[in-house]
Amino acid sequence: MIVLEVFTPDVNPLGRQWLSALLAVLPIVAMLVTLGALRWKAHHAALLSWGVALLVALTAFKMPLIQGLSTSVHGFVYGLFPIVWILLTAIWMYEVTVASGRFEDLRRTFFLISDDPRVVGLIVAFCFGGLLEALAGYGAPVAITAAMLIAVGFSPVRAAMVALLANTVPVAFGAVGLPVQVAADVSQLDVLAVAPITGRITAMLSLIVPFLILLVMDGKRGLRQCWPVGLVIGVSFGVTKWIVSATPLFNLTEMFAAVVSIAVTLGFLRLWKPQGGQEAVARIAEMVAPEAEKDWVPATRNDQDQPALTGQRIFMALVPYLMVIVVFGIAAIGSVKSFLKSLDVSFAWPLLAGLQDVDGGAAQHQRYTLLWASSPGILLAIVAILTGLVYKMSMGEIFKVLGQNAKKMRFSALTIGLVVALAYVMGDSGQTLALGFFIAGAGAIYTALAPILGWIGTYVTGSDTSANILFSGLQSTVGYQIGDGSHLGVQTMRELLVGANASGGVVGKMISPQSLTVAATAIGLAGAESVILRKVFKWSLVLLALMCALTWLMSTPVLSWLI
């Protein structure tokens, strides 16, 4: 019989917070160096980084070996189900359309919106991706929109960059508002106070991201030729976020923003036409990372040999995505959502009974919940099967596509499992909070640093929700410390910092190893995570810097009126 040792994480085991934080940051540095600088394969980088995290946990943070290994296995399993399962089913749904022969109709349907692929790409990645984030989350928007962008004519790595950059603004209110709800719950604040702040910070971010997407798509020329539609998308999305996030319907913020922005943009395109769309077709198909894309062959466009694009063919091409909206919309209804959650299976995870959180309570990872019914994965699987049946494929053909993609994803699955194992070890041993407490010691300047905690938390865990679980309580505590005597006062300072945490996480998601693996798998270039990271890392830093400046100004008389 194994006697389970009680372990309570110590966020400052070395007695000096800067030194404890220095050790805690080693796994993150290991991942960035091996993946970004040394260009290791993602699963090799993840394995080494997990090993570093475990070593630091055992030696510096005094975590018992049994608990360190058990929480690692727990994290690995959670990485496989539901995260890998969601990714697999999202790609399965898309690949069914390819196997059925409807892929070309989908591409031609996109160009009915506009003959400019940059405009189509903006709508697909930013607007439709925002809708998918509102309904599903968990990486499904990146997987689906990256594949759709390739259908539009983007080269693979360019498609991945655009999808990742677009999957920032909607994240804080993704999965029907879960991240911001969790942030409020953990910090013991009213969600109707936290949600508006998060909504306003990310709404202002939405004024920037469409222009960055245009730069990634087609450089300065794309920005110069298409900025009006970027402005219309950003303003309509942002204004809707600003309004809805301050209402009791805050959990539907991204859904409203996506639908309104699509409607407004389609109306605008009836009045305005971009220039240079035909010339841009060749440029967006240019490889941005030849070392990774050397085996990619662009799809040839030969519309003259295709059957006429009738209303029925357009409808059939859109069937999978219409079903996604319908199925996820039904699943988001309160009673349906509660019923699906009641079908999930929860049980105590072996050998973690003695694991506590930093406050001495039972650690969250003592239990594992098998999200077989409420996970977006099962909903996407239903859509994939229904899509195949609508397209008159046999069940054998439909599941053959699933098997083929599962085989392709084996190393991606390994990577994601190891990354989540790394996140669990860092979180349960106290390493993640050690970093947080170090940053929180910055004093009055802390308001400018608050989004960094959300950024780090989402980078490590791959989830803004998880980052809010980790750091919202800490943000609230710092608000108590620095709010008294400040321009905002204690309560409003707490709300600002918690909202900043949820907002900072959205720009950490685009460089999270989980997201990179999702993107690389979706574009058919498994193992290209290091290439994609190098391409998008600077944009993550730019957006983080803007968010830090915005949060600081909101704590001063300059922009406090926004709260």
pLDDT digits (tens, 9 = 90+) for 243-271: 999 998 888 899 899 999 999 999 999 99
Predicted confidence at residue 97, as pLDDT, reads: 86
Write down the pTM of the prediction.
Answer: 0.86
CA 316 to chain centroid: 29
| Close Cβ partners of 484 (under 8 Å, ≥ 6 residues apart) | 490
Tell me how far apart the alpha carbons of residues 500 and 522 are, in angstroms, rounded to a whole number.
30
Predicted confidence at residue 304, as pLDDT, reads: 60
Name the DSSP class of 356: B
**Domain boundaries of the chain, sorted by first residue:** 17-289+308-351+363-562
Helix 311-331 vs helix 334-343: crossing angle, to nearest 10: 70
Structure tokens at 475: 């943000």
pLDDT, tens digit, for every residue of 49-65?
999 999 999 999 999 99
| SS3 per residue for 82-146 | HHHHHHHHHHHHHHHHHHHCCHHHHHHHHHHHCCCHHHHHHHHHHHHHHHHHHHCCCCHHHHHHH
Helix 450-461 vs helix 464-483: crossing angle, to nearest 10: 160
| Residue 39, Ramachandran bin (φ over 0: left; ψ between -120 and 50: alpha; else beta) | left
Answer yes or no: are the C-beta atoms of 182 and 559 closer than 8 Å.
no
Structure tokens at 37: 């600088």
Tell me how far apart the alpha carbons of residues 343 and 346 are, in angstroms, rounded to a whole number.
10
pLDDT, tens digit, for every residue of 523-550?
988 888 999 999 999 999 999 999 999 9
Pick from 384, 321, 392, 308: nearest CA to 108: 308
Predicted confidence at residue 376, as pLDDT, reads: 81
Question: Residue 482: exposed, middle, or buried by beta-carbon count in 10 A (0-12, 13-18, 19+)?
Answer: buried
Pick from 549, 515, 501: nearest CA to 165: 515
Tell me how far apart the alpha carbons of residues 54 and 51 are, in angstroms, rounded to a whole number.
5
Pick from 389, 474, 480: nearest CA to 427: 474
Name the DSSP class of 447: G
Predicted confidence at residue 303, as pLDDT, reads: 57
Is residue 1 very low, low, confident or very high in pLDDT (cuts 50, 70, 90)?
very low
The whole-number average pLDDT for the span 134-155 is 86
Lowest mean pLDDT among 130-139, 282-291, 350-359, 408-417: 130-139
